[in-house]
Amino acid sequence: MLDNPFNVLFICRHNTARSQMAEALLSSISRRRFIAYSAGIEPRAEIHPLTLETIRNAGLRTDGLTPKGTEMFRGPEAPALDFAFTLCDGNESCPSALAGAPMLAHWPFPDPLEAEGTHAEKAAVFAEVFRMIRRRLELFVELPMERLDRLTLQRHVDGIGQSPSGV
């Protein structure tokens, strides 16, 4: 384990679906190299039930997950962030900078909250977004962070987010 794991923040609009999935996934696959957080620009009161269902169906824990606002990651009491990933799709606004100058990358994912249809159809959309997030995070955790300079690392995290499937 690293002496100082990397702090990673995932941001989306409401912190009720994509960013919660990313937080749970990175916490699961991080190999103790990362501490995952999530936040929303306009956080809702509760995590969407299909988000929780999707995370649990993957065998991951949901305890401790709760919607939070980005203001929790500003100021002297906030964790020092190393990375911040905005997960909003093209129809939403996401912050382009954060205090503390963490490495920022945009990894757009469709908003599963916009899914329509039956419960099964909506659940399939949530599962697909979850799969996409997992693939990108698997690539991210494999990066040799300690051996890359900041510019090269930035190119890698940007590149991971530019592929529609995360590959």
- For 6-161, which CATH class? alpha beta
Q: What is the pTM of this model?
A: 0.92
The answer to whether residue 8 scores a pLDDT higher than 60 is: yes
- Give residues with Cβ within 8 angstroms of 18, minimum separation 6: 10, 12, 87, 109, 111, 112, 129, 133
Alpha helices in 61-149 (DSSP H): 119-141
The answer to whether residue 39 scores a pLDDT higher than 60 is: yes
CA distance 50 to 124: 10
pLDDT tens digit sequence for 63-117: 999 999 998 888 888 899 999 999 988 766 666 556 666 899 999 999 999 999 9
